[in-house]
């Protein structure tokens, strides 16, 4: 109804009222008064609403129709931009469920979610980070893969997220250290798998070997197994990274995880006597016949066959290996923590970890931080466990969801002093390539260790001088 129609209606009502009063000689007082209010609004919405207003005039009832102008509140929506590399079907489905759950819990903070395949994301990540505005939240990897961007001032300090959400208490200290630079947090870890020495329980029992806890016990186990015709440790080095896992653990146990991390970051020399001590311990394993012969002839998958057939007892590798074993072998498997070499050293563990960070150019930093708090929450990480079976970072996730082996892995990581990624994640790609070549050269000829260390040091100086 237009304002002119309303005015005409009111005028007619007054005329009728006046006529009635004049005819009866009465002077009644109306019980209600109609007020017409003009409001300036961002957006006008006319709503016709019939309002019954009664005025008693000699038993007569007058009806008035009132037009109300209501103000509609219009909120500006600033979506959270989330770019993900989780493109594999099962992981992508899980990622989409996380987004849906967040949107359900936070209807006023919608997520704009896009997914790019792994290789495409690796190529695009630098462009994302320097864009203005950049995506708010992105998936990425912990370790050097994130450290490079942190050192170049491209990743946002999210220490307030860790503090506000209670992650400093709810996440194991090793993951906090892994996510920190100069005691500030820049990364939010999500899911991971641990490394350990996986072994056949039946072979250990048959040969009266118990899981070794010290270096000497490991060497003794190798001696016993080898003497009984069992290959102590299987490994396939055709793709080199399995050998790098041995360097990681030998260096962490010999010199501590902080030294190892600084070596990965180019801050320590490969000709340092401490690195030589690492190679010396590695050579002891060769001297005690610990490894399968001709390891370079096997891929890491092919090296599983001796373990499956019962010809080898142990394998230093990530927990993902369990999914590749026959069910009967899985039931016969367990793992133990890499043995202690120097009890005075803090404990470091390899646990390759995926997670999230924010760009310093984020358009919606407050919304992005709320999304990070959600991604680190018990609810979100429980969903990851249920959908993918991956291990969470949050200690509050119900441990009943995990197998006994997974619970053991969780406990090992919970008590670590520093959690690192892996050799080729913790250092630069150029240094990782040279390092793994050096490890293979050492495997072929341990007596060439001094030349190998000199070549690695030359590469370190060249690579990190450029950076």
pLDDT at 208: 98
Which segments of the chain belong to CATH 3.40.190.10? 80-191+356-388, 195-350+428-466
Residues 343 and 71 sit within 8 Å (Cβ to Cβ): no
Task: Provide the whole-model pTM.
Answer: 0.70
The architecture CATH gives domain 195-350+428-466: 3-Layer(aba) Sandwich (3.40)
pLDDT at 409: 92
Q: DSSP class of residue 291?
A: B
List the Cα angle 398/373/383 in 5-degree steps: 35
The architecture CATH gives domain 80-191+356-388: 3-Layer(aba) Sandwich (3.40)
pLDDT at 231: 98
Which pair of structure tokens corresponds to residue 57?
A: 């005039």
Round to the nearest angstrom and report the end-to-end CA distance of the chain.
Answer: 72
pLDDT at 71: 58
pLDDT at 128: 92
pLDDT at 70: 60
Give the DSSP H/E element, type plus range, for residue 433.
helix 429-444
pLDDT at 414: 86
CA distances from 32 to 12, 35, 62, 63, 452 (A): 17, 10, 12, 12, 99
Nearest to 311 by CA among 293, 337, 287, 327: 293
269: left (phi over 0), alpha (psi -120 to 50) or beta: beta
pLDDT averaged over consecutive 10-residue blocks of the chain (467 residues)?
Answer: 44 40 39 32 42 49 55 69 88 92 93 87 87 92 84 95 97 89 95 94 98 98 98 96 97 98 96 98 98 95 96 95 90 97 97 93 95 97 86 92 90 91 90 96 97 98 83
């Amino acid at each position: 109804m237009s304002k002119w129609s309303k005015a005409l209606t009111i005028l007619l009502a007054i005329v009728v009222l006046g006529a009635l009063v004049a005819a009866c000689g009465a002077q009644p007082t109306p019980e209600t008064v109609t007020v017409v209010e003009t409001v300036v609004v961002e957006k006008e919405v006319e709503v016709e609403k019939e309002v019954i207003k009664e005025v008693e005039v000699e038993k007569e009832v007058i009806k008035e129709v009132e037009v109300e102008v209501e103000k509609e509140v219009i909120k500006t929506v600033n979506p959270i931009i989330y770019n993900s590399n989780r493109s594999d079907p099962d992981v992508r489905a899980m990622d989409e469920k996380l987004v849906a759950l967040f949107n359900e819990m936070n209807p006023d903070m919608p997520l704009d979610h896009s997914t790019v395949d792994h290789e495409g994301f690796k190529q695009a990540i630098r462009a994302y980070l320097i864009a203005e505005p950049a995506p708010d939240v992105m998936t990425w990897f912990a370790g050097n893969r994130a450290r490079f961007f942190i050192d170049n001032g491209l990743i946002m300090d999210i220490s307030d997220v860790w503090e506000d959400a209670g992650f400093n208490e709810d996440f194991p200290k090793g993951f906090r250290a892994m996510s920190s630079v100069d005691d500030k947090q820049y990364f939010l870890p999500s899911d991971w798998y641990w490394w350990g020495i996986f072994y056949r329980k039946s072979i250990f029992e048959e040969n009266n070997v118990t899981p070794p806890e010290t270096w000497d016990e490991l060497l003794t186990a190798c001696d016993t197994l080898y003497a009984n015709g069992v290959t102590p440790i299987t490994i396939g080095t055709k793709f080199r990274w399995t050998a790098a896992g041995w360097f990681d653990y030998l260096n962490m146990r010999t010199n501590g995880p902080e030294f190892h991390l600084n070596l990965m970051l180019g801050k320590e020399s490969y000709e340092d006597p401490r690195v030589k001590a690492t190679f010396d311990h590695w050579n002891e394993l060769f001297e005690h016949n610990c490894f399968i012969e001709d390891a370079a002839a096997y891929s890491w998958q092919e090296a599983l066959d001796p373990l499956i057939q019962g010809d080898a007892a142990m394998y230093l590798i990530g927990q993902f290996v369990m999914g590749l074993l026959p069910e009967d072998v899985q039931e016969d498997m367990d793992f133990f923590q890499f043995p202690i070499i120097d009890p005075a050293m803090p404990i470091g563990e390899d646990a390759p970890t995926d997670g999230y960070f924010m760009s310093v150019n984020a358009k919606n930093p407050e919304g992005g931080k709320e999304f990070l708090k959600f991604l680190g929450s018990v609810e979100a990480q429980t969903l990851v466990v249920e959908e993918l079976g991956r291990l969470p970072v949050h200690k509050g996730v119900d441990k009943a969801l995990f197998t006994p082996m997974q619970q053991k892995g969780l406990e090992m990581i919970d008590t670590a002093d520093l959690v690192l990624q892996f050799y080729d994640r913790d250092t630069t790609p150029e240094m990782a390539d040279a390092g793994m070549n050096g490890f293979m050269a050492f495997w072929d000829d341990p007596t060439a260790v001094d030349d190998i260390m000199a070549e690695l040091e030359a590469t370190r100086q060249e690579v990190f001088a450029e950076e």
